[in-house]
Structure 1
Amino acid sequence: MRFFLLLVALSCGAAGYYSWSDYNRYLAEPVNLPSDSTLFTIQKGWSAKRLSVELEQQGIIDKRYWFDLYVRLSDKGAGIKTGEYSLLAPMSVPELFATFIQGQTTQYSQNIIEGSNWKQTLARVASSTVLRHTITEEVLASPEAIMELLGFPGLHPEGQFFADTYAFPKGTSDLDYLLRSKQNLDRVLAEEWAGRAENIPLETPYEALILASIVEKETAVIAERPLIAGVFLSRINKKMRLQTDPTVIYGIGDSYDGNIRRKDLTTDTPYNTYTRAGLPPTPIAMVGREAIRAVLHPESTTSLYFVARGDGSHQFSDTLAEHNAAVRKYQLKR
């Protein structure tokens, strides 16, 4: 009897040792992933048990009982994060599970382009293949409805979304993307307004945003932006009209065909800064930080005019006579 009990004890010990060794070997060995990345998605509401079933069904793990034991012993099964993951070999079970706990999901990106207007921005969002579309066709046709959904009822959407590149996981909605951009714009504008230079003839951050959008449209040369901002602010100080073509173009709207004619400069719209004094009623484009900073930290200048040279840069002039000569040289000759 003693011998039998000894055999049983030895057998149990051997089985236990084998099992423990097999468990630790399982944790040390890489899971079944190809050399390139494997996309794996954890759906909302999945439990750790459901996760192990899906991993086994897709051939990523075997011996699911050891995976389940590891999850139980870790006491972190409730912490798995929803999302799409790009799994790269080699990866062990602990590394795989840590990826799901840390939420290291695959990131996609989409940008809001500096100088793009609201319609162009919305069209890019609506045509995105990586965002989850929740905005209905009816709402898409109503800027007011979109802003209300975002929590900003009554606010005109133009210029309200910060021009930048945004990374996000699969499943991010179009509204979440727009809200993040709006919040970024508010944050950056507040930061720059708080540190603005003295004696800027602008009363509110919104006025700074309007002028920044004009500067954004006037030049793509970053180094010129503070100087162009300085010209506009000097004109505002002298009660001169801004007389800037991008606002005229914005006022023309969808009928703009690529050319500004004399009649366009004399046809009054809320955005025609040739016929109306002061700033237009809203921004005319989306902006980045550089344009906002240029407006709030302008370059000191005696220039009151500028004209495009045709190479992306501008010729600046102090007097109307100098400006007219520059126009003849760089514009009329072309």
Structure 2
Amino acid sequence: MASGGAPGAKKRPGLIAALLAASATFSLFLIAALAWAWSVYYSPGPPARDGEATVVTLPSGSGVSAIAARLKNAGVIRSVDMFRAAATLTGADRRLRAGEYEVPSRASLKTVIGLLTDGRVVRHFVTIPEGWSSAQAVDILNAEPVLTGTIDEIPEEGSLWAETYEVTRGETRQAVVARMQRAAEENLAELWAARSPDTVVRTPEEAVILASIVEKETGVGAERPRVAAVFSNRIRLGMRLESDPTIIYGITQGRPLGRGIRRSELERDTGYNTYLIDGLPPTPIANPGRQSLEAVLNPPRTDDLFFVADGTGGHAFARTYEEHLRNVARWRAIEAQRAGAPAETVPPSVVPNAPIEAAPAPAGDAVITMQPPGALRPATPARTTVPSPTQTSPSAQG
């Protein structure tokens, strides 16, 4: 009897061989695909279209597809699909961060994804220096190219907090102004709550006005409390503040004068000239910093009533007008020496310990150094912010 094998037995070796061949082919294909993907992930990307890097901004809330499309349009990556696949396989799709990025030329896909997951965004800062006017602050914002939009009107003087702010590309200038004003309100409220009972200002608004004058009078931080004390003492005694920066503000509305004050300007009643008005001017003359506000709200106890430049960037302080005249004489000697005046042209009053002489007020449009007692009278009825009786003492020179 003849025997025959089962049909399935003959086919099984062939099927196994076919499966093994297919598996080997697939493995080779998979290895090749992985090698290609690995190469794409690590190999250099496209060159920057301009310069050594490409700046690209990813809006908040963007998904992986939208981010990939932006990167592709900016020329940072070659393939949207490869970026999506790489982000998904590495788990980066859940950690991509919005912001502005500076992607180096020929950055690999790995580098690009690393930038976006680490959040290494480009940071932009805008600084409003202490003592700068609101008009000058607007100039700074208008000059910042990453900001957009216009500022409808110059903010109220003293309403901006002088500080460094981080801004983002595309942020509006008006939004930055609003941030500065909120910071000013919050900081002023904090400082006002901690004020001393010795302060002469009665409202937060008056504090900003007086602090702005202190800010403009000295750039030496350590001097601000003493300058604040001088002005506080003068207000208590009914003396006019007689601050040169208030004259300048009345002329330029916050921009630099670019020269010395002239006699004609000293006698001009602009409403801000504290040589002619009692008490404080109607508004601040700048945006003061924290130190000046703290100095005004917590002035030290001193007997100083006068100060004048001392030639070092600081000031010499005095309790009496006679002492002040000696300080002024020294300052005039320094000015004369800097101007190259011969020694014999320096008047005797500039010599230390020489007899005190009140120098005559300059005529015409000469630069003002100081005024002797009673040299000026108000051109119009005095405007008073802080109650003060009629002036009985000579000027402080800042």
TM-score category, normalised to shorter length: 0.7 to 0.9
CA gap of 1:209–1:74, structure 2 versus 1, over 3 A, is farther
Stretch deviating more after TM superposition (98-107 or 221-230): 98-107
Residue 90 of structure 1 and its aligned partner are, at CA, apart by: 9.6
Question: Is residue 158 of structure 1 aligned with residue 157 of structure 2?
Answer: yes
Does residue 308 in structure 1 map to residue 309 in structure 2? yes
Task: Tell me the secondary structure at the aligned position of residue 135 of structure 2.
Answer: helix
Q: Which moved more, 1:241-250 or 1:13-22?
A: 13-22
1:106 aligned partner: 122
Q: CA shift at 1:130, angstroms?
A: 3.4
Instruction: Name the CA distance, whole Å, in 2 between partners of 1:49 and 1:8.
Output: 34
Matches within 5 A, 1:125-204: 125-135=141-151, 139=152, 142-143=153-154, 147=155, 157-204=156-203
Q: Which residue does the alignment assign to 2:25?
A: 11
What is aligned with 1:329? 330
Amino acid at match of 1:8: A
How far apart, in 2, do the equivalents of 1:26 and 1:195 lie? Answer: 61
Question: Does the aligned pair in 2 maintain the 1:309–1:331 contact within 8 Å?
Answer: no
- What one-letter code is carried by the residue in structure 2 that aligns with 1:215? V
CA distance in 2, matches of 1:109, 1:93: 29
Q: Secondary structure at the match of 1:159?
A: coil
Contact 2:306 / 2:321 at 8 angstroms: preserved in 1? yes
**How far apart, CA to CA, are the structure 1 residues paired with 2:79 and 2:47?**
19
Matching residue of 1:84: 100
Q: Report how far residue 161 of structure 1 moved.
A: 1.4
Aligned residue for 2:225?
226
Equivalent residue of 1:86, what SS?
A: strand
Query: Normalization by structure 1: what TM-score?
Result: 0.79
Distance 2:101 2:20 in 1: 50
Task: Quote how far apart the aligned CAs of 1:238 are.
Answer: 2.3
Deviations 1:10-54 (A, max 9, x none): 433444455456546655x26537799522313548653243345
Is the 1:47–1:78 Cα contact (8 Å) retained in structure 2?
no
The reply on whether 1:249 has 2:262 as its aligned counterpart is no
Q: Contact 2:158/2:208 (CA < 8 Å) preserved in 1?
A: yes
The letter of the residue matching 1:318 is R
Read off the aligned partner of 1:32 and give its amino acid letter: G
Moved more, 285-294 or 102-111: 102-111
CA distance, structure 1, for counterparts of residue 178 and residue 107 of structure 2: 36
- Using a 3 Å threshold, how does the CA distance of structure 1 residues 91 and 194 change in structure 2: closer, same or farther? farther
Name the SS for the 1:40 alignment partner.
strand
Quote how far apart the aligned CAs of 1:304 are: 0.8
What is aligned with 1:153? none
Q: How far apart are 1:289 and its partner, in Å?
A: 1.9
Q: CA RMSD in A?
A: 3.3
Q: Secondary structure at the match of 1:307?
A: strand
Normalising by structure 2, what TM-score?
A: 0.68
Q: Which structure is higher in helix share?
A: 1
**C-alpha displacement of 1:318:** 0.5
**Amino acid corresponding to residue 203 of structure 1 in structure 2:** R
1:281 deviates by 1.5
1:167 deviation in Å?
A: 2.9
Q: Percent same amino acid among aligned pairs?
A: 34
Secondary structure class of the residue paired with 2:125 = strand
Change (3 A) 1:66 1:260: closer
Offset at residue 125 of structure 1 (A): 2.3
Please say if residues 42 and 81 of structure 1, whose CA atoms lie closer than 8 Å, have aligned partners that are also in contact.
no
CA deviations over 1:183-213 (Å, ceiling 9, x no partner): 2222332332233334212222222111111
Name the CA shift for 1:235/1:90 in 2 (closer, same or farther; >3 Å). farther
Structure 2, unmatched stretches of 5+, are: 1-14, 337-398
Partner of 1:42: 57
Verify the 8 A CA contact 1:196 1:297 in the aligned structure 2.
yes
2:345 aligns to what?
Answer: none
- Give yes or no for contact 1:32–1:59 (8 Å, CA) kept in 2: no
Shift of 1:305: 0.9
CA distance in structure 2 between the partners assigned to 1:178 and 1:260 by the alignment: 32
User: 2:359 corresponds to which residue?
Assistant: none
Q: Check 1:327–1:42 CA distance in 2 against 1; reply closer, same or farther (3 A cut).
A: closer
Comparing 214-223 and 231-240, the one that deviates more: 231-240
Report the counterpart of residue 45 of structure 2 in structure 1: 32
Aligned partner letter, 1:120: Q
Larger radius of gyration: 2
Give 2:295's aligned residue: 294
CA distance in 2, matches of 1:37, 1:300: 59
CA 1:237/1:61 → structure 2, altered by over 3 Å: closer, same or farther? same
